[in-house]
Amino acid sequence: MILDLFFPNRCIECSRIIDADLLVCSLCFEQIHFTHFDYFSENIIKEKCRLLFPVENTYGLMKFEENGLSRKLIHELKYKSRENAGKILAEWTTERLDFKNKKPDILISVPLHPKKLRERGYNQLHQFTETLSKFYSIPFDHELIQRNHYSKAQALKDKKHRLEAANPFSLSKPISGKHILLIDDVFTTGNTVSSVAWEILNAGDNKVSVLVMAVDA
C-alpha cells in the first residue's frame, strides 16, 4: 500500500522497518522476557492471588519491567492506538499456553468504564481475548462484567468516590457453575482481578483462573 511506502511500520524498540503485522523485529523479539509459566503449576501470580481470593490456575505471558520491552508493548497497546497489538500478544500466548484437557468455560476480560472506552476508542483486552477465544474454541463474554465507576488518580478522589471505588465492578447477569478465565493486561497488586473475581465467585458455584499479558514480579 502507498501508506506503507511513505509511513512504514517500524520496530517499537530499534525503529527498523518491519512487516505491517509485527510489533518488533526478530532481533528485538529476543529481548522480550517471557515468563515460561506453566498454567497449572505454582507461579508468582498464583501466590499473590491466593492471598486475595480462591484461584484455580494462573498464567502470565511476559515479565513486566519498568524499562523493558514488555512495558513498551503494553504502552503501544493501551495508549498508542495499536489495538492490533492485542492480537499479536495473543498469538504469542497461544504458542506458549497449553490448557491440555482442562479448558475454562468462558473468557472474561476486565472492562473499561464506558467513559474511558469512549476516550480510548477500544478496550485493549478485546482483540487479545477474541484471538484466544478463536484459537482455543472457548467462548468469550464482554458484557458479563461492568465497571461501575470512572477511575481517576486516587489522590484526586474525595471521600465519597473512594467509598464508591470499594465496589468497582458488578455482574450484568447471573452466572453459576462456570470456570471463568479472567484476563487483564498487567498484574501488579492483584487488586483489580480480585475485585472482579469476587463478583464472579459470589454469584454462584463458579471457579476463577487468571491470565495476564505481563506480571510485575
The answer regarding whether domain 32-215 maps to CATH 3.40.50 reads: yes
pLDDT in tens, 125-151: 999 999 999 999 999 999 999 998 876
Residue 189 has pLDDT above 80, yes or no: yes
Looking at every residue in the chain, the average pLDDT score rounds to 89
Positive or negative torsion for Cα 147, 152, 153, 159: negative
Collapsing DSSP states into helix, strand and coil, what is residue 52?
coil
CA 114 to each of CA 24, 123, 143, 146, 183: distance values in angstroms, whole numbers, following the listed order: 31, 10, 12, 9, 18
Report the predicted TM-score, pTM, of the whole model to 2 decimal places. Answer: 0.89
**pLDDT recorded at residue 154:** 41
Q: Rounded mean pLDDT of 59-66?
A: 95
- The fraction of the chain above a pLDDT of 90, given in percent, is 74
List all residues 6 or more positions away from 124 whose beta carbon is below 8 Å from its beta carbon.
77, 78, 83, 85, 86, 185
